[in-house]
């Protein structure tokens, strides 16, 4: 594994083969997918810390989900990659959908963990309030609340991982991502023509199964896998099953 820099953005780059790009969610980093890496032998995997998250500072430019998607496109250009499989978690699934809808030649397949089409009205308000809290009070209270609300009970290691991921976020970057997510609108699902796997946690309060079921109805080439008794961070809670589903989907749709 090597670290590459795309402007001020840090990207982990490892392996050889067809490209797989993994895009983390709100409060996540490249490390959100660490549990899946051993299952990706034979592929080249790129994992960015999106601008404003993890080791990547905020950068000027186009704001919102479009700006994050532009950052991902910059990565592919810098790495000399024309087409890739995209893997997203939570907010990262929205970035993946935006890329698949607007740059279809770039996207071989999608694997979406805890998929979100767009936040409901109540979540939009809560995200705005959370952005304000991050800027005013820092990340400690937010980290505690998120790990309590989004991880299955009885999973202390997963809870510790999520708490640490949130605590390490830059408050200004986290707030910026909260606002980006609060303002985003769903892409037209009929524009996403690539094979798409949605992986939902049965007990996910952030991206409920009902949302995934509705998305599958409208995506032309989508299927849904529901993992029992799991909440929003399934890659950390049940890494073996998550890796198995991911690898099978990419292998089945790898034409490169």
What pLDDT score does 256 carry? 57
Residue 87 belongs to a domain: yes
88 burial (CB, 10 Å; 0-12 / 13-18 / 19+) is buried
CATH number, domain with residue 76: 3.40.50.1820
> So what's the pLDDT on residue 62?
67
| pLDDT band with cut points at 50, 70 and 90 for residue 1 | low
Tell me, yes or no, whether 156 lies in a domain: no
Question: For residue 11, is it within any domain?
Answer: yes
Q: Which domain holds residue 103?
A: 2-119+184-252
Q: For residues 58 and 78, what is the distance between their CA atoms, to the nearest angstrom?
A: 19
Which residue from 81, 113, 78, 83 is spatially nearest to 95, judged by alpha carbons? 113
Does 168 map to a domain? no
Split at pLDDT 50, 70, 90, the class of 4 is: confident
Please state, in angstroms and as integers, the Cα–Cα distance from residue 118 to each residue in 169, 185, 217, following that order: 23, 6, 15
Q: Identify whether 113 is part of a domain.
A: yes
- Tokens 């946690």 sit at which residue? 201
Task: Give per-residue pLDDT as tens, 110-151.
Answer: 999 999 999 999 999 999 999 999 999 999 999 999 999 999
Evaluate whether residue 75 is within a structural domain: yes
Q: What pLDDT digit, counting tens, does each position of 184-209 carry?
A: 999 999 999 999 999 999 999 999 99
Mean pLDDT across the chain: 95
Give me the residue label for tokens 């008794």: 229
Considering the domain boundaries, does residue 246 fall inside one? yes
pLDDT band at 247 (very low <50, low <70, confident <90, very high): very high
Residue 160 forms part of a structural domain: no
Mean pLDDT of 46-57: 96
Q: Which distant-in-sequence residues (6+ apart) come within 8 Å of 5 by Cβ? A: 11
Structurally, how many domains does the chain consist of? 1
- Which range has the worst mean pLDDT, 28-32, 56-60, 144-148, 242-246? 56-60
Residue 252's pLDDT is what?
97
pTM of the predicted protein model: 0.96
Contact 48, 92 (CB under 8 A): no
Task: Give me the mean pLDDT over the 143-172 stretch.
Answer: 96
């Amino acid at each position: 594994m090597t670290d590459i820099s795309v402007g001020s953005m840090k990207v982990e780059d490892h392996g050889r083969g067809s490209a797989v790009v993994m895009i983390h969610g709100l409060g996540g980093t490249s490390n959100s997918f660490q549990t899946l890496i051993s299952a990706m032998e034979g592929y080249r995997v790129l994992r960015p810390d999106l601008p404003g998250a993890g080791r990547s500072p905020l950068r000027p430019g186009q704001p919102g989900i479009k700006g994050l998607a532009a950052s991902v496109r910059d990565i592919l250009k810098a790495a000399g990659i024309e087409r890739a499989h995209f893997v997203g978690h939570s907010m990262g699934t929205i970035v993946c959908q935006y890329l698949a809808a607007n740059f279809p030649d770039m996207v071989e397949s999608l694997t979406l963990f805890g998929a979100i089409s767009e936040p409901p009205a109540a979540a939009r308000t809560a995200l705005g309030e959370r952005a304000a809290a991050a800027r005013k009070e820092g990340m400690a209270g937010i980290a505690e609340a998120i790990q309590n609300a989004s991880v299955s009970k009885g999973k202390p290691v997963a809870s510790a991982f999520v708490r640490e991921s949130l605590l390490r976020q830059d408050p200004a970057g986290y707030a910026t991502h909260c606002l980006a997510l609060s303002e985003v609108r769903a892409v037209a699902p009929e524009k996403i023509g690539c094979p798409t796997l949605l992986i939902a946690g049965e007990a996910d309060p952030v991206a409920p199964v009902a949302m995934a079921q509705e998305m599958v109805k409208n995506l032309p080439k989508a299927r849904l896998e529901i993992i029992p008794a799991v909440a929003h961070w399934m890659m950390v809670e049940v890494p073996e099953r998550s890796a198995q589903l991911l690898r099978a989907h990419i292998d089945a749709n790898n034409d490169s």
